[in-house]
């Protein structure tokens, strides 16, 4: 079981009990949220987050931490975060005239993949659950911009006006990458061996699927700055979610194609994503590969398990749930996936945290059945996934929110970076093919770190 939390973090957690929250939201002129993130480097490194949804219609950036939320009881972390959040909101003073999701007090953060894995040093700043209520936040929904300020103790509203003027004048480009010194692909032979052992289990037991991941390490000559990587992700992965969450000297970031769950008022959206193939070099080859994927029994099985699980997990929270019978293709640079969109109408009392808890991990990252698959991952992967493959996202004080699955992602810590990629193993998986699939999945993050390929 993990017990992390630096003294610094514990102190910040205590601010939750420090008194009344004052939160205040005002509209503002259009600005570049990413430039704002950059501009906060000197004042707030380690305390920033950035989020862009897949079509770019919703973006948020946060800087400074008004309160940190963690849970002392890993088994009950989802409820604990929710309880602390509800408690804080109970007597908060909120001034927000705008009925816009993602404005006003908002929590941004995520959960680790597996509370029972032995924690790795590189993830020490994140723990099992970590959420921030930002001091300053800019929200952009459909090109409408809002500034939210959160503070314990009365807020001087003139600060907001001052900040708005200041944001208007911001400019800048991120620094270039520091020099790459070494690159390490962890024990490929050992990983292939683990894949074969897992496949053997899948052929000889009731287990149907296990997702096995691996990691790469890159070491640079100087500390990494998260904005350098986000800048690359924003230009190279425009149709993915782009996210970053800093914690002390670390940052978890990536460009994920996979929504776990979105809830706005009662509308619920989720995504079943599993089954993969490369992109073609020509349009014709690309079409052929896509078509092969749509008819490939191994990939269809890998995908179908995700659809059934998501359906079962969301059903109790929804009055209505719509799921197509056949998957589509989702095409991203380097990769195409089998994709089934899910749409539902939430029951009035359904909370996004409860849905996240029930969905995590889907068989796109865990396996079927979940518990034995998680044990298998713990035993065979030889690493701590940390926040890789986990729910990361936001929820506002009105209960709207969105969480994605933190894949196509990596962690920076000082001058090192750790990149992660996994693949869904089923009984007819072939180890070498799965290795190639993980190589394709590393590609976007490698490029974001200035590397062409492995
Ligand atoms: C585990 C990852 O991808 C998942 C999501 C989509 C397709 C997958 C697959 O085909 O294996 C994986 O289940 C990853 O990108 O690290
Ligand atoms: Mg796969």
**What CATH number does residue 189 fall under?**
3.60.120.10
| Domain total in the chain | 2
13 contacts 69 by C-beta, under 8 angstroms = yes
pLDDT of residue 433: 98
| 364 Cα–ligand 2 center, Å | 8
Instruction: Name which of 139-148, 164-173, 395-404 the model is least confident about.
Output: 164-173
Q: Tens of pLDDT along 140-152?
A: 999 999 999 999 9
Task: Kindly report, residue by residue over 118-164, the tens digit of the pLDDT.
Answer: 999 999 999 999 999 999 999 999 999 999 999 998 777 778 887 88
Instruction: Tell me what the pLDDT averaged over the chain comes to.
Output: 94
Domain boundary among 100, 135, 168: 168
Q: Which residues, 6 or more positions from 193, have their beta carbon under 8 angstroms from its beta carbon?
A: none
C-alpha span between 352 and 145 (Å, rounded): 24
In a domain, 175, yes or no: no
Q: How many C-beta neighbours within 10 Å does residue 382 have?
A: 14
Give the residue, out of 216, 274, 305, 336, with the most ligand 1 atoms within 8 A of its beta carbon, to mutate for a pocket test.
274
The reply to whether 389 falls in a domain is: yes
pLDDT for the residue 417: 98
107 Cβ closer than 6 Å to some ligand 1 atom: no
Give the E-state strand segments of 48-207 in sequence order.
Answer: 48-52, 58-69, 93-95, 106-111, 129-141, 144-152, 180-185
Domain identity same for 218 and 143: no
Of 142, 168, 194, the one marking the end of a domain is 168
Mutate which of 304, 422, 445 for ligand 1 pocket (most atoms within 8 A of beta carbon): 422
Instruction: Indicate whether 3 pLDDT > 60.
Output: no
Domain final residue pick, 120, 139, 168: 168
16, part of any domain: yes
Burial label for 200, CB within 10 Å (0-12, 13-18, 19+), is: exposed
pLDDT at 362 over 90: yes
Across residues 164-169, what is the average pLDDT?
Answer: 79
Do the domain assignments include residue 173? no
What pTM value is reported for the model? Answer: 0.95
Rounded average pLDDT over 380-391 = 97
Find the helix packing angle between 352-359 and 77-90, rounded to 10°. Answer: 170
Contacts 24+ apart (CB under 8 A), 35-43: 35/170, 35/171, 35/172, 36/61, 36/63, 36/138, 36/167, 36/170, 37/61, 37/63, 37/227, 37/230, 37/244, 38/172, 38/174, 38/227, 39/167, 39/170, 39/172, 40/64, 41/225, 41/227
Q: What is the DSSP string of 328-369?
A: EEEEETTEEEEEEEEEEEE-TT--HHHHHHHHSSPTTTSEES
Pair (351, 416) in one structural domain: yes
Work out the pLDDT band at 368, boundaries 50, 70, 90: very high
d(CA 177, CA 43): 21
Using only C-alpha atoms, what is the Rg of the chain?
Answer: 21
Tokens read off for 183: 């690159």
Query: Are residues 113 and 236 part of one domain?
Result: no
Residue 17's pLDDT is: 55
Please tell me whether residues 163 and 191 are part of one structural domain: no
Q: CB of 211 closer than 6 A to ligand 1?
A: yes
Residue span of the structural domain in which 159 resides: 7-168
Q: Do 134 and 189 reside in the same domain of the chain? A: no
With a pLDDT cut of 70, the percent of the chain lying above it is: 96
* Nearest CA among 60, 81, 62, 78 for reference residue 70: 81
In the structure, what pLDDT confidence band is assigned to residue 7 with cuts at 50, 70 and 90?
A: very low
- As for the ipTM of the complex, it is 0.99
pLDDT of 8 over the 50 cut: no
Give the number of other CB atoms < 10 A from CB of residue 349.
7
Q: Is the minimum distance from the CB of 425 to ligand 1 under 6 angstroms?
A: no
Strand partners, 421: 214
The answer to whether residues 244 and 291 belong to one domain is yes
Whether 209 lines ligand 1, by a CB cut-off of 6 Å, is no
Which two tokens mark 173?
């480009």
Give dist(CA 198, CA 67) in Å, integer.
42
Residue 146: inside a domain, yes or no? yes
Domain shared by 114 and 211, yes or no: no
Across 171-185, 220-234, 251-265, 297-311, least confident range: 171-185
List phi, psi (to 5°) of 406. Answer: -75, 65
Contact indicator for 271, 393 with CB cutoff of 8 Å: no
Three-class DSSP category at 267: strand
Place of tokens 């068989």: 363
| Domain assignment present for 365 | yes
Residue 451 has what pLDDT?
87
2 within a domain of the structure (yes/no): no
Average pLDDT over residues 327-345: 98
Instruction: Confirm if 320 and 344 have CB atoms less than 8 A apart.
Output: yes
426 and 285, same structural domain? Answer: yes
**Cα–Cα distance between 436 and 421 in angstroms, integer?**
11
Q: Separation of 120 CA from ligand 2 center, angstroms? A: 26
Catalytic residue positions? Answer: 209, 258
Q: Which ligand is nearest to the CA of 430?
A: 2
Q: H or E stretch including 86?
A: helix 77-90
Task: Report the C-alpha gap between 450 and 236 in whole angstroms.
Answer: 11
Tens-place pLDDT, residues 18-75: 689 999 999 999 999 999 999 998 889 999 999 999 999 999 999 999 999 999 999 9
Regarding whether 346 and 209 lie in a shared domain, the answer is: yes
- Domain co-membership, 380 together with 427: yes
Which position has the higher pLDDT, 452 or 449?
449
Q: Are 387 and 110 in contact (CB under 8 A)?
A: yes
Query: Do 73 and 80 contact (CB within 8 A), yes or no?
Result: yes
| Confidence band of 15 (pLDDT split at 50, 70, 90) | very low
Give the residues across from 333 on adjacent strands. none
Same domain, 116 and 18: yes
Ranges 1-5, 244-248, 319-323, 433-437: which has the least confidence: 1-5
According to DSSP, the residues that pair with 7 across neighbouring strands are: none
Instruction: Say if residue 134 is in the same domain as residue 220.
Output: no
């Amino acid at each position: 079981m993990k017990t992390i939390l630096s003294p610094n973090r514990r102190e910040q957690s205590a601010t939750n009990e420090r008194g009344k929250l004052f939160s205040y939201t005002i509209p503002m002129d259009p600005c570049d949220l990413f430039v704002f993130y950059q501009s906060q480097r000197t004042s707030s490194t380690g305390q920033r987050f950035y989020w862009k949804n897949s079509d770019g219609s919703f973006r948020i950036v946060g800087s400074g931490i008004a309160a940190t939320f963690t849970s002392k009881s890993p088994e009950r972390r989802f409820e604990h975060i929710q309880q602390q959040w509800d408690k804080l909101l109970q007597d908060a003073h909120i001034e927000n005239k705008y009925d816009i999701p993602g404005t006003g007090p908002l929590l941004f953060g995520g959960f680790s993949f597996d509370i029972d894995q032995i924690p790795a040093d590189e993830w020490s700043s994140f723990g099992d659950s970590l959420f921030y209520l930002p001091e300053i936040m800019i929200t952009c929904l459909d090109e409408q911009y809002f500034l939210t300020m959160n503070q314990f103790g009365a807020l001087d509203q003139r600060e907001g006006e001052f900040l708005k003027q200041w944001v208007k004048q911001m400019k800048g480009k991120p620094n270039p990458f520091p020099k790459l010194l070494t690159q390490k692909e962890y024990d490929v032979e050992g990983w292939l061996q683990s894949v074969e052992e897992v496949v053997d289990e899948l052929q000889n037991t009731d287990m149907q699927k296990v997702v096995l991941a691996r990691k790469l390490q890159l070491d640079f000559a100087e500390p990494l700055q998260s904005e350098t990587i986000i800048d690359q992700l924003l230009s190279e992965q425009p149709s993915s979610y782009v996210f970053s969450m800093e914690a002390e000297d670390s940052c978890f970031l990536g460009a994920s194609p996979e929504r776990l769950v979105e809830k706005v008022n009662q509308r619920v959206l989720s995504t079943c994503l599993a089954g993969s193939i490369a992109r073609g070099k020509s349009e014709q080859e690309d079409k052929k590969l896509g078509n092969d994927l749509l008819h490939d029994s191994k990939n269809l099985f890998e995908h179908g398990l995700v659809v059934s699980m998501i359906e079962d997990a969301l059903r109790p929270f929804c009055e209505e749930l719509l799921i197509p019978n056949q998957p589509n293709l989702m095409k991203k640079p380097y990769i195409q996936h089998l994709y089934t969109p899910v749409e539902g109408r939430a029951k009035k009392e359904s909370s996004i945290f409860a849905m996240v808890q029930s969905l995590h991990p889907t068989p796109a990252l865990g396996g079927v059945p979940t518990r034995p698959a998680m044990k298998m991952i713990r035993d065979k992967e030889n690493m701590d996934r940390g926040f890789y493959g986990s729910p990361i996202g936001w929820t506002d004080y009105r209960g709207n929110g969105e969480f994605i699955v933190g894949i196509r992602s990596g962690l920076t810590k000082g001058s090192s970076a750790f990149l992660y990629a996994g693949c869904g193993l089923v009984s007819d998986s072939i180890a070498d093919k799965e290795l190639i699939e993980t190589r394709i999945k590393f590609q976007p993050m490698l490029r974001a770190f200035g590397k062409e390929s492995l």
